[in-house]
Structure 1
């Protein structure tokens, strides 16, 4: 178990409508300095399926942090994680101890975010315990939908299942994918 600091900031702008929160970046993501960078994580393939415009070959997430950030912002999706720092073994959410939360109040207040989507059970649990009370106290509570993890560790969930679950959550949040 090692103590880990998040290491990079949120992706958002004033036009963001949905905030996607993971638990803590994986070692691969921390190394790359961006979200969902493990090559087997299915987050970006899900986002591409939901949002990419098939008529525009440039409207893809790409492989770099810059192209993925631009894609997320173009589709009004903000990204961050519940945890600012914690003790963790590798990328194992079940090993997380001593979690300290990120402060998402400034993001919610400075954007059009109407829904938070958490990726994975641990992110949902930690959101409810560590972030929701602060949002309520600040007068800016936002409904949360807990989604399944896109991590390769969630092998029981296939890509088409993830796409359908995420599609419904984004639609419910009002961030309708252009090309369903």
Structure 2
């Protein structure tokens, strides 16, 4: 979905397909791409989002590398990337503005069945964690063989934690 210069509050934002190799063992979940990401058609496109700098530090690439290289590096390290929501109505980019009555979750049943090596689900922030637990997890048949971790959001809106502290939390979760 291409964003326009003026926001239509009834406009439905539609997310991206997952980035995942067959041997993925970790799934990183955001909530829903922000406006900058939707415009650029790339995960974590906002220049102040710490996701790519953190991944680059942990996986050994530059956050300024081409997007295709960065996503390939995730896949080479067994990391899949997706969002909890397939679509939603949300003015702007803040997760707090997601209309909880108008959201549609991604199909985790099919995704996880086709990626049986996933043993850990890392939620990028409280909103992704809450949305996954409330709206996606109930549709998944037990037993749930994954560790589900809530990590500090890499969003620039989560300024209460330093980038170094975020890096340490993400390092522990991905090791």
Say whether 1:6 aligns with 2:14: yes
Say whether 1:40 aligns with 2:44: no
Contact 2:15-2:83 within 8 A present in 1 as well: no
Q: Give the match for residue 4 of structure 2.
A: none
Quickly say closer, same or farther: Cα 1:151–1:145, change in 2 above 3 A: same
Deviations 1:53-85 (A, max 9, x none): xxxxxx445443312211111111100000111
Q: Give the match for residue 38 of structure 2.
A: 30
Q: Give the match for residue 168 of structure 1.
A: 172
Q: 2:78 aligns with which of 49, 72, 76?
A: 76
Structure 2 residue runs of 5 or longer lacking an equivalent are: 1-8
Q: TM (normalized to structure 1)?
A: 0.84
In structure 2, C-alpha distance between the alignment counterparts of 1:135 and 1:127, rounded to whole Å? 11
Of the structure 1 ranges 19-28 and 6-15, higher mean CA displacement relative to structure 2 is found in 6-15
Q: TM (normalized to structure 2)?
A: 0.86
Contact 1:12-1:73 within 8 A present in 2 as well: yes
SS at match of 2:72: helix
Question: What pairs with 1:107-122 in structure 2 (closer than 5 Å)?
Answer: 107-111=111-115, 112-122=117-127
Question: What pairs with 1:83-102 in structure 2 (closer than 5 Å)?
Answer: 83-97=85-99, 98-102=102-106
- Pairs aligned (count): 164
Following superposition, the deviation at residue 167 of structure 1 comes to 1.0
SS at match of 2:161: coil
Structure 1 residue runs of 5 or longer lacking an equivalent are: 53-58, 172-180
SS at match of 2:39: helix
SS at match of 1:136: coil
SS at match of 2:12: strand
In structure 1, C-alpha distance between the alignment counterparts of 2:144 and 2:150, rounded to whole Å? 19
Q: Give the match for residue 68 of structure 2.
A: 66
